[in-house]
Amino acid sequence: MDKALTFLKNTFGFDGFRPPQAEVINTLVNGGDALVLMPTGGGKSLCYQIPALVRPGCGIVISPLIALMKDQVDALLLLGVNASFLNSTLDHQQVFEVEQALRDGNLDLLYISPERLTQERTLALLQEVSISLFAIDEAHCVSQWGHDFRADYLQLSLLHREFPSIPRIALTATADARTREEIISRLDLIDADHYLAGFDRPNIRYTIGLKQNPKPQLLRFLKDAHPRDAGIVYCLSRKKTEETATWLKGEGFNALPYHAGLNAEVRADHQSRFLRDDAVIIVATIAFGMGIDKPDVRFVAHLDLPKTIESYYQETGRAGRDGAPADAWMIYGLQDVSKLRQMLDQSEGSEEHKRIEQHRLNAMLGLCEITSCRRHALLAYFDEASPEQCGNCDTCLYPVDTWDGTEAAQKALSVIFRTGQRFGVNHLIDVLRGSENDKVFQFDHHKLPIHGVGKELDANQWKSVFRQLMARDYIRVDVDSFGALRLEEKCRPLLRGDESIFLRKDVKTRTVAKQTKTMLPEDIDIGLWEALRECRRRLAEAQGVPPYIIFHDSTLQAMAEYMPATLDEFSALSGVGERKLQKYGPEFLEVIQGSSHSLDQATP
Ligand code: ADP
Ligand code: ZN
């Protein structure tokens, strides 16, 4: 383990292992197999990179994400690790050179696509050379039930048969037990040690607000918190992604649309600009995400409600993989719920399936409407225990007020019942507020005793009541008749007065937006921060790599915060290993010195 620690410090520039990296590395170094489940950004790569360096021979990394291999390898080369990749993007000559390097024992790590690995030629080559370990990344791709199934992954059980003495490690961020079982059985990992890290992403701040005026709300969030950051904005429809991107461009942001309807070239271009340029915002449908390994995505914004908590967690999880502070920001409204219910209704699938999906949607809505800690609720949904308060979500930072909504809830339930469970929320609110419009007269609803009993709340407040009743499963939108609200069995005690209910007061959006300040530490000199980013951008461009491969945001922040004056001080920053110290240290030190001079001059 001493050797492992030396690599961690000297090569990667980190001070200590994160759980459970040390244990995983120990297992592999000693020749054992491991199954590792860690959240996105948890630090899975080091779990195989370090043992591959410690053990003799080359580490073989199998990954389906061909588009990422070059960047992964570039990043390793910059650290001084001899890495290479083999996939269909290489021509014959390049393949030959990589194979030769492998034969000559000049590689520490080799990334291979599954279809390349399972070719006779590759397997024969691997039999000839010394191999330190096999790492199977994105191991959930063996699951035939998952979204990312890869037929080639099924063949990976051959590794165990053909290379019985070489340790194997399978890694994934997919949590559920069924996928885990499939990985174990299909990859023959029954005897492997299992490592399950918690799924919390402490650096992500969750904020969920009410959708009022989406565009100004988003603009405010971006201007206040992320004026020059890379991020993803998710929308439900293709049309909306294009509209939103165009509008953001007009507002001065570098925004690009992404959805499955764009042709492949445009998509590839937008994706690569997102990865390589500084501060690009991708406005996308859920088609965007898989295989996006950009570590410095500083925010994920949802303009529409995701269908399930699982999708919400996966999509927001793309923020802040580098561990630096990031935002998961969402606005939603009742219209989102109706739209999703309609889509669900029109989808093919059994009644059983629709019912399950409906429950999952309700859970999502429940998360939006809770008055307690969002993170605690999220983790509880994934059966993970956590403190009652996380201190880094909107409800923890700015506790919501609640009010006794028992009477209002009773009125809301009654009006649904009295009008025959056939009407949508707007009409129900009209009846409660005593409206005398055509529709009210048409159905004789002005004659009902419930007509006009709800004047004490305005329409928005009533919407909030209905939403919260829906989130807590007292009522639901009827899937068969367009947006009509129906009562659930659960509402009886509340209607009878045997139960009381506390509701959250809607937070005005203005306050929600104001809460999200830029995430840089307060005493950082913004001028210096920008100068450091410019220096990084210049170096990245000169080398044809994305900026984060030079240094991550967190390392840049540390530079701005501690302002090292010597190479020795510079080497103490997290993320600065020996190679990068020599290669980039002097240039960044110059930038820091330049800025401290100007500070000195400013304060005589
Ligand atoms: P994953 O593959 O699990 O999504 P990565 O391996 O890409 O995550 O690591 C995520 C980030 O955490 C990277 O920026 C990596 O450099 C950083 N990291 C990993 N392990 C450590 C550690 N022990 N100390 C500090 N940073 C780490
Ligand atoms: Zn919290």
Residue 495 structure tokens: 């209607």
Q: Is the pLDDT of residue 28 over 60?
A: yes
Fold of 402-503: Arc Repressor Mutant, subunit A (1.10.10)
Beta bridge pairs of residue 503: 403
- Work out which ligand 1 atom sits closest to the CA atom of 47: 6
- First-to-last C-alpha distance (Å) of the chain: 51
- Name every residue whose Cβ is closer than 8 Å to that of residue 435 and which is 6 or more positions away in sequence: none
Q: Could you tell me the distance, in angstroms and rounded to a whole number, from the CA of residue 549 to the centre of ligand 1?
A: 13
In tens, the pLDDT along 439-453 reads 999 999 999 999 999
CA–CA dist 324, 295 (Å, integer): 9
- Compute, in angstroms, the gap from residue 183 CA to the centroid of ligand 2: 33
Is any ligand 1 atom within 6 A of the Cβ of residue 135?
no
Specify the pLDDT at position 601. Answer: 55
Query: Whole-angstrom Cα distance, residue 308 to residue 324?
Result: 26
Q: Summarize pLDDT for 346-383 with one digit per residue, the tens.
A: 888 788 778 778 778 888 988 998 888 999 999 988 88
Instruction: Determine contact, residues 308/359, Cβ cutoff 8 Å.
Output: no
Span of 65-69, 143-147, 168-172, 207-211 with lowest mean pLDDT: 143-147
Distance CA 239, CA 262 (A): 11
d(CA 351, CA 492): 25
Higher pLDDT, 600 or 114: 114
CB 304, CB 239: distance < 8 Å = no
**Lowest mean pLDDT: which of 117-131, 143-157, 382-396?**
143-157
Structure confidence at residue 85 (pLDDT): 97
Residue 451 near residue 431, CB atoms below 8 Å? yes
Report the chain's mean pLDDT, rounded to a whole number. 90
Percent of the chain with pLDDT over 90: 67
Is the pLDDT score of 100 beyond 60?
yes
10, 11, 12, 69: residue to mutate for ligand 1 pocket, most atoms within 8 A of CB: 12
Give the pLDDT confidence score for residue 287 in this predicted structure.
79
Residue entry with tokens 């639901």: 476
Q: Name the CATH superfamily, with its identifier, for domain 204-397.
A: P-loop containing nucleotide triphosphate hydrolases (3.40.50.300)
Architecture of domain 2-196: 3-Layer(aba) Sandwich (3.40)
Q: What is the mean pLDDT of residues 94-100?
A: 96
Residue whose Cα lies nearest atom 11 of ligand 1: it is 322
Distance 384 CA to ligand 2 centre (A): 14
Q: 290-301 pLDDT, tens per residue?
A: 667 788 999 999
* CA of residue 84 relative to chain centroid, distance: 28
Distance 315 CA to ligand 1 centre (A): 19
Lowest mean pLDDT among 220-234, 345-359, 391-405: 345-359
18 lines ligand 1 (CB under 6 A): yes
| Contact (Cβ atoms closer than 8 angstroms) between residue 362 and residue 303 | no
Summary count for the chain: helices (H), strands (E): 29, 17
Shortest-distance Cα residue to atom 2 of ligand 1? 44
pLDDT at 356: 78
| Cα(256) to centroid(ligand 1), Å | 28
- Rounded to 10 degrees, the C-alpha dihedral 566/571/577/579 comes to 20
Question: Over 80: is that where the pLDDT of 546 sits?
Answer: yes
More confident residue, 164 or 39: 164
From the CA of 400, the nearest ligand is: 2
**pLDDT tens by residue, 53-78:** 999 999 999 998 887 898 899 999 99
Same fold, 2-196 and 204-397: yes
The predicted structure's pLDDT at residue 348: 80
Q: For position 25, what pLDDT does the model report?
A: 98
Nearest C-alpha neighbor of 72 from the set 34, 45, 108, 43: 45
Whether residue 175 contacts residue 200, with contact meaning beta carbons closer than 8 Å, is answered with no
- The pick from 6, 9, 14 for probing ligand 1's pocket by mutation, whose C-beta has the most ligand atoms within 8 angstroms, reads 14
- Tens digit of pLDDT for each residue in 250-275? 999 999 999 989 999 999 899 989 98
Structure tokens at 512: 């929600």
228 pLDDT more than 60: yes
Cα radius of gyration rounded to whole Å, the chain: 27
Question: For the ranges 97-111, 332-346, 581-595, which has the lowest average pLDDT?
Answer: 332-346
Nearest CA to ligand 1 atom 27: 43
What six digits make up the tokens of 106?
């000049």
Categorize the per-residue pLDDT at 514 as very low, low, confident or very high, splitting at 50, 70 and 90. Answer: very low
CA torsion sign for 176, 180, 182, 187 is: positive
The DSSP secondary-structure symbol of 170 reads E
CA angle 291, 141, 55 (to 5 degrees): 85
In the predicted model, is pLDDT for residue 103 greater than 50? yes
Distance CA 382, CA 310 (A): 9
What is the SS3 assignment for 409-461?
Answer: HHHHHHHHHHCCCCCCHHHHHHHHCCCCCHHHHHCCHHHCCCCCCCCCCCHHH
Distance CA 293, CA 272 (A): 11
What is the pLDDT, as a whole number, of residue 157? 92
Q: What is the mean pLDDT of residues 548-574?
A: 93
**Which residue reads 């507020």 in tokens?**
433
- Residues within 5 Å of ion ligand 2 by Cβ? 373, 375, 390, 393, 396
Give the architecture (CATH level 2) of 526-602: Orthogonal Bundle (1.10)
Testing ligand 1's pocket by substitution, the residue of 25, 46, 580 carrying the most ligand atoms inside 8 A of its CB is 46
Q: What values do phi and psi take at 476, rounded to 5?
A: -145, 160
Residue pair 192/134 in contact (Cβ under 8 Å)? The answer is: no
Ligand 2 centroid from CA 329, angstroms: 14
Identify the pLDDT of residue 261. Answer: 93
Nearest CA among 589, 581, 539 for reference residue 563: 589
User: Does residue 480 register a pLDDT over 80?
Assistant: no
Q: Measuring from atom 14 of ligand 1, which residue has the nearest CA? A: 322
Residue ranges covered by each domain of the chain: 2-196, 204-397, 402-503, 526-602
Mutational test site, ligand 1, from 6, 24, 45, 76, max ligand atoms within 8 Å of CB: 45
- For residue 531, CA distances in Å to 144, 241, 294, 411, 588 come to 48, 32, 22, 59, 9
* ∠ Cα 449 455 461 (to 5°): 120
**Hey, whose CA ends up nearest to atom 18 of ligand 1?**
43
Pocket lining: 20 vs ligand 1, CB cutoff 6 Å? no
Distance 22 CA to ligand 2 centre (A): 29
Position 515 confidence tier, pLDDT thresholds 50, 70, 90? very low
Residues present in the chain in total: 604
Residue with CA nearest ligand 1 atom 21: 43
- Residue 567: CB atoms within 10 A of its CB come to 13
